[in-house]
Amino acid sequence: MSLIRHGTPLFRKTSFAFFAAGFNTFAILYSTQPLLPVFSEEFKVSPAISSLSLSITTIILAISLIIFGSLSEVWGRKPVMSISMVASSVLCILAAFSPDFTTLLVFRTLLGITLAGLPAIAMAYLGEEMDARSLGVAMGLYISGNAIGGVFGRVFSGIVADWLNWQFAMAAIGVLGLISAIIFTLNLRSSEQFGSEAMHAGTLVSSMVSHLKDPGLRYLFGIGFIIMAGNVAIFNYMGYALTEPPYNLSQALVSWLFIVMIIGMYSSIWAGRRVEKFGRQKMLLISLLISFTGLLISLEGSLFSKVLALTLYAFGFFASQTVATSWVSARALQHKSQASSLYLFLYYVGSSIGGTLGGFFWSGFGWIGVAGMIAVFLMIGFWCARGLAKVERYRVAEVEAASAKENKHFGKS
Spans of all domains in the chain: 1-189, 202-413
Per-residue pLDDT of the chain (413 residues; tens, 9 = 90+): 688 887 888 888 988 898 888 889 989 999 999 899 999 999 999 999 999 999 999 999 988 887 776 666 556 678 888 999 999 999 999 999 999 999 999 999 999 999 988 887 777 777 778 777 776 567 666 766 777 888 899 899 989 988 889 999 999 999 999 999 999 999 988 766 656 555 556 666 776 787 788 899 999 999 999 999 999 999 989 988 998 899 998 878 888 888 888 887 778 778 877 877 888 889 999 999 999 999 999 999 899 999 999 999 999 998 888 788 778 867 877 666 677 778 888 988 998 899 889 999 999 999 999 999 999 999 999 999 999 888 877 665 544 454 445 455 555 55
Is there a common fold for 1-189 and 202-413? yes
Q: At what angle do helices 101-115 and 77-95 cross, to 10 degrees?
A: 170
pLDDT value of residue 195: 61
Whole-prediction pTM = 0.78
pLDDT at 70: 63
Task: Domain 1-189: state its class.
Answer: mainly alpha
In a 13 Å sphere around the CA of 364, the CA atoms on its Cβ side amount to 11
**Is the link from the previous residue into 246 a cis peptide, with omega within 30 of 0?**
yes
**pLDDT reported for residue 402:** 47
| Superfamily of domain 202-413, CATH level 4 | MFS general substrate transporter like domains (1.20.1250.20)
Report the pLDDT value the prediction gives residue 197, as an integer from 0 to 100. Answer: 56
What confidence score (pLDDT) does residue 308 get? 95
Name which of 148, 119, 130, 132 is nearest 191 in CA terms: 130
